[in-house]
Amino acid sequence: MSRATGPDDVMPVLSTRARLAGRAAVLVSATSRRLGRGGGSVIGGRAGLLLAPDLLALLAAGRSVALVSGTNGKTTTTHLLAAALGGGDRVATSSAGANLPPGLVVALAASPPGTPAVLEVDEAYLGTVAGAVAPRVVVLLNLSRDQLDRVSEVRMVANRWRRALTDLETTVVANADDPLVVWAAGTAPKVIWVNAGLLWRGDAIGCPACDGKIIFSDSDAPGNEASGGWSCVCGFARPHPDARLIDGQLATADGRRLPLHLRLPSRANRANAAMAAVAAGVMGVDESEALAAMAVVTDVEGRFATVTHAGVTARLLLAKNPAGWTELLDLLEGGTEPVVIGINARIADGHDPSWLWDVPFERLSGRLVVATGDRRKDLAVRLRYAGIDHMTVENQLDALTAPGAAAVQYVGNYTSFQDLRRLLPGSARQEPVRRSLSVPLVSALEVPVPRSSSRRTTGESALRVVVIYPDLLGTYGDSGNGRILACRAAWRGIPVELVLARSDEPLVRGADIYCIGGGEDGPQIQAAERLADGVLASAVGSGAIVLAVCAGYQIMGTSFPGPDGRPYTGLGLLDIDTIKSPGPRSVGELVAAPFDGGRNPTGVTDVHFGHLTGFENHAGLTRLGPSVRPLARVLTGVGNGADVRPDGTRTEGAWSGRVVGTYMHGPVLARNPALADLLLTLATGASLSPLEDEEERALHDERVRSLDVGGGASVSAQAVAKWRQLTGGRGR
């Protein structure tokens, strides 16, 4: 019989240097906490790493380590796996705000050597951390866009994971339903594939193997909570799962069916628990024991907890991107309590909340929603176009009580959730109930329901608005432009139909307005190839209007750059061409002023627009030829980048006939209702009755004022010089 081993037997001896550095990390963290500077892990860990750059490896030596990474669910999965391994002092574990190397150093240094560790790791640092700590298991949950201003990094992260895992002696527990995760784990020596589901597929559409398109099968097996299969024509496809979620049970690789009795709500958490249970199995804990230990977890760092404030009971939920919201809307379904939604756009959230337009808030129909947080105005406009009764409240605590209900559901994105948690403890009992009487309630308005292009129901006389390929070019919420146009027509009594035209169907002919948005390089090329069939060009020839944004804008030109900078042929509907900027991406607030004192370049005389505001996020430098007019001149940000007028004026967007292009997301028509009405005026040939646009105007004015505080991207003189050189000095 083998000798029982306790921590004393296996405890490795740390070098003096590692001990001192580890102690310094813990000490500095504790001091920082005492001084009230937050959790303190970061500064303490940094101090430790300064003393011993290899501290992470030193502290991890002799431990059984699990790493958990992914865009959504990593904090919960880390928490569940730590619980499965015994929880409390028996496991070293990191918290949500401390998932970079300095935070991990403190998590390890604060626990005795030899203690097993479950560490949440930021997606961008997984390779570095895995290389240092020699993990026994790596759990890969999912990859989707999180901070929209970093969206171009999602595929980069998948490739970085793939390189890091190829040579790593570890077991990878991977979500077989996410093509990007499968790509990342595809070359790892030992993988356990889990069929845990992926409700949000919006970011997984581009094949990581060939830049083609992933086709998801919707014919899920009965009782299977998780997703069905997926594949690409290149042969890249979902691997056969070793474990899966079926009928609320975990079907293990060895053929057992283990029930999940979680106290954490939602399908997403059942998937997280399934992943954690399989990982626990790799760590030497039987899956059924692991699941039993997870069953007692009631909240994860405040998420899913219920609190009481000024007599109002609030359940606290966190959702920071469309993928997270897709899961949460399932959870909220069927309830009647008001929903309080806090939205910020700080660094940790990403500076661009355009993703709100990819969340189907329409599903909250019939419930009162309170918009709060720094970016409540963006949310209020989104809710208006979703037809949701809503009110706007500045202070998050007031927002909980504003509906006057006994119970509310609170959903915050990352920093607004942290803000509310900070506000809550001291105020939970003392704060007097303050009814926010000044808060206006905006009632739901009738909203046109979009239809797929394969069915035609509405009469030919209706104004037809088509969103081109939202499945390819739907990364930045630009599909919202179509919805906004349709709503603004419907609210004026103009019959309208809104069509979302997917890329696997022929483009609808004969529409009045076509909208096309931004996306990644691969899908941009696919969209351009499909649009080369001439349907759009002939529609423009017959007088259709096109609103083209970002990647869609570049496609309208004569040429645009692929991922490697190689030029691709555009549609030639605008006399512009675009190259890849040799500098960094242009990411930030973009404010531009119209030429001619607000007169628009279309000849429509009764619509004027003031400053235009949007959020740009592109790597293009666009030059305007002689037969287009710029949309506006840049006040802050980059815009076209390569179009500088003799007087030094830099321009944004382009306009020619009835085709208009811009780099502005937001969506652009949400922030600039005058531009939406200009397009509708052109399309209908009639003057439009005014709308009550208080919320849009409030958002517009707030964003234009952001000009004063900066925040815009800038284009380097070097980039412009490079453009001049490439174009033989034609750049103006």
The site for Zn ion (CB under 5 A) is made up of 207, 209-210, 212, 232, 234, 236
Angle between helices 16-34 and 101-109 (to 10 degrees): 100
Residue 47 backbone dihedrals phi, psi, to 5 degrees: -60, -45
Burial environment of residue 38 by CB neighbours within 10 A (0 to 12, 13 to 18, 19 or more): middle
Residue 155 CB, nearest approach to Zn ion (Å): 13
Give the list of residues 6+ apart from residue 461 with CB closer than 8 angstroms, or none.
495
Judged by beta carbon, residue 230 or residue 417, the one nearer Zn ion is: 230
Whole-Å CA distances, 612 to 488, 545, 699? 18, 19, 12
Tokens of 44: 């303490």
Question: Containing H/E element for 700?
Answer: helix 694-705
Residue 214 CB, nearest approach to Zn ion (Å): 7
Residue 235 CB, nearest approach to Zn ion (Å): 7
Residue 503 CB, nearest approach to Zn ion (Å): 15
Give the list of residues 6+ apart from residue 348 with CB closer than 8 angstroms, or none.
147, 414, 415
Judged by beta carbon, residue 156 or residue 210, the one nearer Zn ion is: 210
Residue 215 CB, nearest approach to Zn ion (Å): 10
Residue 356 backbone dihedrals phi, psi, to 5 degrees: -55, -25
Q: Is the peptide bond before 523 cis (omega within 30 degrees of 0)?
A: no
Asked if residue 536 lies in contact with residue 546, where contact means CB atoms within 8 angstroms, the answer is yes
Nearest Cα to Cα of residue 667 among 517, 462, 540, 465: 517
| Greatest Cα pair distance in the chain | 92
Asked if residue 365 lies in contact with residue 333, where contact means CB atoms within 8 angstroms, the answer is no
Judged by beta carbon, residue 95 or residue 231, the one nearer Zn ion is: 231
Residue 469 CB, nearest approach to Zn ion (Å): 18
Residue 232 CB, nearest approach to Zn ion (Å): 3
Judged by beta carbon, residue 132 or residue 207, the one nearer Zn ion is: 207
Residue 251 CB, nearest approach to Zn ion (Å): 29
Judged by beta carbon, residue 325 or residue 469, the one nearer Zn ion is: 469
Asked if residue 540 lies in contact with residue 509, where contact means CB atoms within 8 angstroms, the answer is no
Judged by beta carbon, residue 67 or residue 207, the one nearer Zn ion is: 207
Residue 234 CB, nearest approach to Zn ion (Å): 3
Judged by beta carbon, residue 232 or residue 260, the one nearer Zn ion is: 232
Residue 180 CB, nearest approach to Zn ion (Å): 12
**Strand 545-549, strand 659-662: pairing:** parallel
Whole-number Å distance between alpha carbons of 506 and 56: 54
Residue 523 CB, nearest approach to Zn ion (Å): 13
Judged by beta carbon, residue 232 or residue 634, the one nearer Zn ion is: 232
Start-to-end CA distance of the chain, whole Å, equals 83
Asked if residue 481 lies in contact with residue 547, where contact means CB atoms within 8 angstroms, the answer is yes
Residue 178 CB, nearest approach to Zn ion (Å): 15
Nearest Cα to Cα of residue 640 among 708, 720, 717: 720
Judged by beta carbon, residue 38 or residue 562, the one nearer Zn ion is: 562
Judged by beta carbon, residue 38 or residue 239, the one nearer Zn ion is: 239
Judged by beta carbon, residue 161 or residue 230, the one nearer Zn ion is: 230
Residue 33 backbone dihedrals phi, psi, to 5 degrees: -65, -45
Nearest Cα to Cα of residue 467 among 533, 527, 525, 520: 527
Whole-number Å distance between alpha carbons of 424 and 420: 6
Judged by beta carbon, residue 212 or residue 582, the one nearer Zn ion is: 212
Whole-number Å distance between alpha carbons of 196 and 204: 15
CA dihedral 410, 416, 421, 427 (to 10 degrees): -90
The single-letter code of the amino acid at 275 is: M
Judged by beta carbon, residue 106 or residue 207, the one nearer Zn ion is: 207
The single-letter code of the amino acid at 700 is: H
Q: Which residue has the tokens 């101090």?
A: 47
Whole-number Å distance between alpha carbons of 363 and 359: 9
Whole-number Å distance between alpha carbons of 226 and 245: 6
Residue 522 CB, nearest approach to Zn ion (Å): 10
Residue 177 CB, nearest approach to Zn ion (Å): 16
Whole-Å CA distances, 158 to 185, 573, 584, 596? 9, 35, 21, 47
Judged by beta carbon, residue 168 or residue 209, the one nearer Zn ion is: 209
CA angle 420, 423, 427 (to 5 degrees): 130
